[in-house]
Each structure stands twice: as structure tokens, then as C-alpha cells.
Amino acid sequence: MVDPVYLDFNATAAARPEVIEAVAAAMAEGGNASSVHAAGRAARARVEDARRAVAALVGAEPGGVIFTGSGTEANNQALRCTGRPRVLVSAIEHESVLGARDDAGRIPVGADGCVDLAALEAMLAGDDRPAIVSVMLANNETGAIQPLAEVVRIARRRGALVHSDAVQAGGKIPVDMAVLGVDLLSLSAHKMAGPQGVGALVMRNPALVGRLIHGGGQERALRAGTENVPGISGFAVAARMARAGLDRFAALAGLRDGLEAGMRAVDPAVVVFADRVPRLPNTCKVATPGLAAETQVIGLDLAGVAISAGSACSAGKIEAPSVLTAMGVAEALARCAVRVSLGWSTTGAHIDAFLAAWRTLRMRALGATAE
């Protein structure tokens, strides 16, 4: 077995060595990006270089990028600070979107894990209040890529703004704000092999957004607080490497498909979710009837293989995934679902190690059932 086998990149991607070097160099250099002396100017140069790198990753203008403490913060600022009295979010959003506004309406999704466009149109038509619609670009659990350009077209007809949580999509598939037509887009460095604790809110027009955090003039006066220069420096490197490596990342679909085929060869009853729609190339959400998610996560961990049961934002709890519930999946099957997510360092040997460990678990469970 390859040791360790890390297959939980959607929770956090293993940091690239180049990113770690950039973070360490910025920490060693020091300096506050708001200071006017040489050290401060050097720190400011790092921040502005990163702003250009992040903008280039998503086809945006550098002036529309502000750095935040996380993708969660970016999502909250987008949904709470645009002055729109009405918020509509898809039912499969990350908790940082679902929980950003208590009064948010939820747009249903189909069994394929994609947002129901007809339902969105009806919801917008039923209320004339100015609205903002939030639909993620790609789902963090199933990997299903959402019909975002269609969402934008529907929203535009009703005068609604559109925000997209692109935290899982950024650096994994091509993202172009101009092509998508969205007004606001959220990113997170650690999902693309950058450091934890730094995100970005990308805006078509910064005048659309107000402050979430008050008390200073940093980040175009839209996000108070001293910039995390080491984290932002690492974000720059991660963004550039992700943009340059999109073709290599796309090739992970072959490893993912081999993993799914290997599981089905052991147990044809295995269910892969959203496998009939475009997905992120690295993401597999799969359920094995009769084999609880907790058993799989713990059993594989003991075998040196790291996967998850879903989002990494529930303090280690394993619950029925809300995304699958929104898709209409029965609770019994949903509780048997795990997520396997590949990344830049994943190899065929890692997939083989996963399949060997998972096959042992499955055979053991089948043997116990037979007894």
C-alpha cells in the first residue's frame, strides 16, 4: 500500500511545495501591506501580485478582487452586503451559503443534483422585490457542475444579481466570469492546494457590495483588517499553478472513473451520484447499500486511506448528507454515502490502494451479513 493515501482533496487540498515556500518567504520578509516604508511596500507588492493571479484564474479584473479570511466569509459578504431584500439559494449549497441569510428561499434541485431552472424562474416571477440568486458552480459533494449560465439568463430577465460559490470549481475546471455572466464569485485558496485561512470575493462591479467587516480601509475599503500577506502570497502561487495545470487536473477523470468501475466490479449495487451530468473530474460521491458511511470512513482510515462522508464543516460528525436529501435520495442510502476526491498528487497507486482496502471492508460486511 502507498502510505499515506489522501483522497479528501475537496475538504482541503494537500499544499504544493511551491506554495509552502512562498508562504515561508513572505513570513520571513515580514511587513504590513498598509505601511509606507520599504518592508510595507514589499508586502503590498505581494498582495497586488496575488490579486492579478487570482483575477487571471477566473477571467476577472484585478480591481474586482478582495481578499477575505475564507470562502465562507466571501459567501457571507456577497449575500449579506449587496442590499438586496430577497435572497434565493440552491438547496445543495454549502452551509456557508445556506446559513448566510435566515430568510433565504431555497431553489430545489433534480435527482441528478442540478438546480431546477423552471423552479428558479417561477420563484423569481412570484416576487418583484430586488433579489440576489446564489448557485454554486460545482457541488462540493457530488461534483455536479451547475447550469450557471442558464441561471444568469433567467436572473437577468428579472433584474436579479447572481453570486456563485466557486470554491470547489476554482482551479479544477476553467472558470471565466465574463462567460458565466455572474456578478459575484467566491474562491478559497486551500481548495486549490494553497494555504488555509485565505479566500477571495471577486466582483464584476465593486460598487455593488458593502462591507461585512468594519474598522479599517484595507482591501478597497471593503474588508477591514490587516491582510494575511503570507497566505495571500501562497494563494498567488496556487492560483497560477492551478491555471497552468487545468489539463492535468482534467485527466483525473480517468482515475476517478477507474475507481468507480473498480467498486462496481466488487459490488454492482454501488450507486454513484450525479454520474449522468458533467462533474468535476476529481469527485466521486458513492453509496454502498448496507455499508454505513461511518464504517467506511473509519475502516479506510485504519487502513491508511483518508476519505470523507461529505462536507468538512460539521465538526467531525457523520450525518445524512443534506445534498443527497435535497436530491430526493432515501435516508437509508444517503447514510451509506461517502465522498472520494482526488487531487494534484493522486496516482493510480493511490486508487489501487483505496480499492484494495474498500474491497476488504465490503467483503467483511457481506460475510457478516451471510452469517
Domains and CATH numbers, the chain: 5-13+247-370 (3.90.1150.10), 17-244 (3.40.640.10)
Closest by CA position to 199, among listed 215, 214, 212: 212
**Residue 48 CA: distances (Å) to CA of 175, 219, 230, 328, 365:** 21, 10, 13, 45, 54
C-alpha cell belonging to residue 38: 520599504
pLDDT of residue 311: 64
C-alpha cell belonging to residue 262: 473498480
Task: Report the 3 state secondary structure along the chain.
Answer: CCCCEECECCCCCCCCHHHHHHHHHHHHHCCCCCCCCHHHHHHHHHHHHHHHHHHHHCCCCHHHEEEECCHHHHHHHHHHCCCCCEEEEECCCCHHHHCCCCCCEEECECCCCCECHHHHHHHHHCCCCCEEEECCCECCCCCEECCHHHHHHHHHHCCCEEEEECCCCECCECCCHHHHCCCEEEEEHHHHCCCCCCEEEEECCHHHCCCCCCCCCHHHHCCCCCCCHHHHHHHHHHHHHHHHCHHHHHCHHHHHHHHHHHHHHHCCCCEECCCCCCECCCEEEEECCCCCHHHHHHHHHHCCEECECCCCCCCCCCCCCHHHHHCCCCHHHHCCEEEEECCCCCCHHHHHHHHHHHHHHHHHHHHHHHC
Closest by CA position to 65, among listed 250, 235, 277, 220: 220
- Contact at 8 Å (CB) between 52 and 99? no
C-alpha cell belonging to residue 43: 508586502
d(C-alpha 33, C-alpha 336), whole Å:
48
**Residue 232 CA: distances (Å) to CA of 26, 149, 176, 360:** 9, 29, 21, 43
| CA 64, chain centre distance (Å) | 20
pLDDT of residue 313: 55
Phi, psi of 338 (to 5 degrees): -125, 160
d(C-alpha 239, C-alpha 54), whole Å:
6
pLDDT of residue 371: 47
Return the half-sphere exposure (C-beta side, CA atoms, 13 A cut-off) of residue 50: 32
Q: Could you count the other beta carbons within 10 Å of the beta carbon of residue 89? A: 26
Return the half-sphere exposure (C-beta side, CA atoms, 13 A cut-off) of residue 273: 34
Q: 151: which residues sit within 8 A by CB, 6+ positions away? A: 115, 117, 120, 133, 135, 162
Residues classed as catalytic: 313
d(C-alpha 343, C-alpha 351), whole Å:
12
d(C-alpha 9, C-alpha 312), whole Å:
11
- Parallel, antiparallel, or unpaired: how do β-strands 199-203 and 184-188 relate? antiparallel
The pTM of this model reads 0.94
d(C-alpha 221, C-alpha 300), whole Å:
47
pLDDT of residue 369: 57
Closest by CA position to 94, among listed 155, 146, 149: 146
- State the 10-residue block means of pLDDT for the chain, 371 residues long: 84 97 97 94 97 98 98 98 97 96 97 98 96 98 98 97 98 97 98 98 97 94 96 98 98 98 97 97 97 96 94 56 94 97 97 97 78 47
Q: 247: which residues sit within 8 A by CB, 6+ positions away? A: none
